[in-house]
Structure 1
Amino acid sequence: MSDLLYAEEEEALRSAVRALLADRCDPASVIARTEAAEPHDRELWKTLADGMGLAGLLVPEELGGQGASHREAAVVLEELGRAVAPVPYLTSAVVATEALLACEGDAARELLGALASGRTVGVLALPLSCAPGQEAFDVREEGGALRGRVSGVADAGAADVFLVPTASGLFAVDATDRGVTVEAQTSLDPTRALAAVSFDGARARELAPHAERAVTRGLRAGAGLLASEQLGLAEWCLTETVRHTKERHQFNRPVGSFQALKHRLAQLWVEVVNTRAAARHAADVLARGGDDPAVAAALAQAYAAPVAVRAAEEALQLHGGIGMTWEHPVHLYLKRAKADSIAYGTAGRHREELAALVDLQTP
């Protein structure tokens, strides 16, 4: 049986990432970023990816990466979730990277090295809501050129290259190609921007003759490790709410001393602890490649997504009037939790998949 506790190296990685985010991604900075024209923090991404080498954690050393595992990537995502950091780590360093790892050939290997360096951001051209096994390819390939449109693509505005699945295979397209148009769309979560990407004769490089295997691998890793981001988000909400209820006084007593609030926070603590177990299990299974990664990812999302939403809702309510203000960051966590709850499949979709995978018949 695997040890799901954090190793010493993982705790050291956590400390380094948390210290950087505390200095460069404090709540006031994130709120200011959501009001800026550029939603992505490119300087923070450069430090995380180039300075700390985190973009290449899942890439083997011989291809220019760190040769680490999904467990380390999960720790990074926990901290990014705690800070609702506006960087394309999940989409580029996890989903796009995992899709490329399922491809063979020099084109995929070269692109993996570019993504591992962090100087290139790769995005899988599918809607953020697309679940593993639910792929619908809306782009077609015609003589080496792509045509079609995909809506709801996360971090498309930060992408340098798009990985585009079609019925003819998986292709890479430079975001600067004249045939590519990226149109920003309104997103509930301002820290993870969405866009519609149109391809009108865009020149494409083939990465794999069949896209299904690569896309499924990328989305499954995304769903499994998204649970770690949701864990970090829920932990922040719980920690900050407990701190606030200790400091906020009513009737000459801390509001956290009221029994009703104690019960709500205790129940939330139990749910967060269980989320940690599910998220760590998913990361460990993905790292080892054993057991069934589909079961682990579906289980993690089925549990983590509702808990993250509940934690953010409780944080907003128990912060009282201040929690409803734009200046307080709790609204960012609620929006991220809500957006994450449909990312890579809803909890209901994952429960249905889990039931089918373990042959659990409905009543």
Structure 2
Amino acid sequence: MMISPDISSKLAVDAKSIDDLHLMAKRNPEQALHKAAQQFEALFMNMLLKSMREATPKDGIFDSQQTQFFTQMYDQQLAQHLSTKGIGIADILVKQLSRVESSLEPQTSISQADAILSSINAINQPSVKKNGHPNDISEQLWPVMNSSKQAMIAVDAMKSSEQAFVAPIQIESQQTKAFNRSTDFINMLLPHAKTASQSTGIPSHFMLAQAALESGWGKHEIRRADSSPSYNLFGIKAGASWKGDTVETVTTEYINGAPQKMVEKFRAYSSYAEGFSDYARLLLDNPRYAKILESTDSVTFANGLQRAGYATDPKYAEKLIRILNSEALQNREFI
């Protein structure tokens, strides 16, 4: 039986350690992935230690090339020791790469470990010593990161593996932020929507969905010149009969199906409660919205608004239905 080499106490800065990792990748891919991730974490910690050392003044009476050399040796062993317990980087690497691996070929474990090894090889590229004694070979014996230049080499070598584990985290973070924004939007406006629902008969979540569509979940709310809110979440324009406050802003209107940017005048309110109240009054007082007040399902409501000419966007109903079917609105009780 072939036994995988023990590299837990070695820092992957020499050819022998790298060869052992490659050999392990062929014999036991899963174990190699964990070991390679651990070695990468050790090298990363070693880079942090080196950066801290470089930030420390070196004009003491005990500072010399010899003390710096042994300090480097100590830091590398310390980094290797700490990486056996880990600070989480290796676990993230293994978790994210394993997630990608599960949808690929079974042999992918080898390539995932090799991806990390290629990054380690890039970090370990020997640098040319430009200063110091001509016979000083400590750089070759104990190679370290040579400031930002070799850091960029490592980043370039890691691009393929970096995308594999960073992209899913970024996507999950963006989705979480979007969901939190929509939840906060609903929680803030639900009391006003319920009040408007009592007078119009339109379900409160129908109105919340339309407010979300018109304002981008509050992110693109119409604002005054001083950036204060207009509290107009429904994009209601200020016609000749409107006697209240107004605000002018650039909006997109569809003329013969083609989008065009133009400046329009919109109604402005003193609160969201006033904005919802005016929206309810608009639907109640205008005969063309009479059938919308009878809507009992989301599709009828969305299509009714578009047919009544509430917006010029030809895909207005389609966009509104998509929001009505979104997770933020489907997973809530609006009684």
By relative contact order (CA 8 Å, sep 6+), the higher-ranking structure is: 1
Which TM bucket (shorter chain)?
A: under 0.3
What TM-score, normalized to structure 1?
Answer: 0.25
Q: Kindly name which structure, 1 or 2, has the bigger radius of gyration based on alpha carbons.
A: 2
Larger helix proportion, structure 1 or 2? 2
TM-score by length of 2: 0.26
